[in-house]
Amino acid sequence: MKKHTFTFMGTGAGCGVPAFFCECPACEEARRDPRAQRGDCGVMITGDTRTLIDTPPDIRHYFNREGVRSIDNLIFTHWHYDHVGGLGELEYMVQLLTREALPTFASPFTLESIGREFEYMMYCLARCPIEPFEELELDGVRYTALPVTHAEGTYGYLIETGETRLFYASDTGALPDETAERVRGVDVLAMDATYWGENGFPQSHHSVQECIEEGLALDAGKVYLTHLCMHYSEPITLAQLEEYLTQYDGRVAPAADGLSFAI
C-alpha cells in the first residue's frame, strides 16, 4: 500500500497569530511561544508526488520550513486572499525548475476569480475546473469536491487513501446536508473553527464549539480545529484551548502549523 502524509502547512485565519496589530493575550502568547504561532491555512499531501491545497501568503516560508523544492499538483478551496495570496511564489518554480504548467484544480468560479487577480500567472497553471461532488485521483489519492457554506464556489475536500478517509474544510459554516452525509464517519475531520465563543459570521464560519459539536455528530474519529483566529470574538490562548479540550480525551485537538500524520 502506497504511503501518504498529510501536513498542515498553516492553521490560522486571515490575520494570523500573532497578528501584527494585536496585543491580545493570544497574540502575546504567540510572540513568546513559537508553538502558538499560526500562518494562513493550507495543507499538503505527500506520496510519490506533492499535492498542495491553497497557496496562502506565507507559502514560501512553509516550503522552506518543510524542505519542499517543488509541488506537482495544486488544488484550491476558494478564492479569498488568505488562500490564494501566495500564488505568485510559484512562478519561478515553473519558470526555472519544472518548466511546465502546474495542474490546478478548483471550482469554475474560483479559477475565474484567480485568473482575474493573477492574470500574469496564468501561463504557469494548467487550469482544470471541477464541479460539485466531482472526484479526481492524484498519486493514488481520491479527492472529492464537496460544497460548503462559505463564499461562492468554495469546496471542502474528502481525501481518501486505501487506509484513511479525511475531510478538510478550512472555511465553512454548518455543512450542507449532502456534504455532511458524504463525510459521516470519516477517520479525520479538519474543519473551520475560527471563533471562540460568539460566532461573528455563522453563515460562513464555525466557532470552536460549533466545529466540535458538528464533528462529533458526524461521528468523526479525530477532529482537528483549524482556521483558528484565537483573538475573536473573545481571545483565548493556546494553553487555555488545550485545557478546554482535555474533556474530549484526545479526540479533538487544535491543528498546528507543520503538524504531519500518515493517511
Task: Give the pLDDT score at 200.
Answer: 85
- Mean pLDDT, the chain, integer: 97
Question: Has residue 159 been placed in a domain?
Answer: yes
Question: Has residue 72 been placed in a domain?
Answer: yes
* Percent over 90 (pLDDT), the chain: 95
Boundaries of domain holding 170: 5-256
Task: Give the pLDDT score at 49.
Answer: 97
CATH code, domain with 173: 3.60.15.10
- The SS3 of residue 48 is coil
- Asked if residue 232 has pLDDT above 90, the reply is no
- The SS3 of residue 130 is coil
Q: Which of 248, 194, 169 is nearest to 216 (CA)?
A: 248
Own/partner long-range contacts of 64-72 (Cβ < 8 Å, ≥24 apart): 65/258, 66/7, 66/9, 66/258, 68/44, 69/97, 70/97, 70/98, 71/44, 71/102, 72/102, 72/103, 72/138, 72/139
- Asked if residue 2 has pLDDT above 90, the reply is no
Question: Has residue 263 been placed in a domain?
Answer: no
Question: Has residue 261 been placed in a domain?
Answer: no
Question: Has residue 61 been placed in a domain?
Answer: yes
Please give the tally of structural domains in the chain. Answer: 1
Residue 208 host element (H or E): helix 208-217
Q: Report residue 233's pLDDT band, with 50, 70 and 90 as the boundaries.
A: confident
- Asked if residue 1 has pLDDT above 80, the reply is no
Q: Report residue 12's pLDDT band, with 50, 70 and 90 as the boundaries.
A: very high
pLDDT, tens digit, 9 for 90 and up, residues 26-81: 999 999 999 999 999 999 999 999 999 999 999 999 999 999 999 999 999 999 99
- pTM of structure: 0.97
Point out the least confidently predicted range of 65-79, 132-146, 190-204. 190-204
Question: Has residue 247 been placed in a domain?
Answer: yes
Question: Has residue 14 been placed in a domain?
Answer: yes
pLDDT, tens digit, 9 for 90 and up, residues 85-103: 999 999 999 999 999 999 9
Please count the other Cβ atoms lying within 10 Å of the Cβ belonging to residue 57.
Answer: 21
Region 129-146: mean pLDDT is: 98
Alpha-carbon Rg of the chain, whole angstroms? 17
- Asked if residue 121 has pLDDT above 90, the reply is yes
Question: Has residue 66 been placed in a domain?
Answer: yes
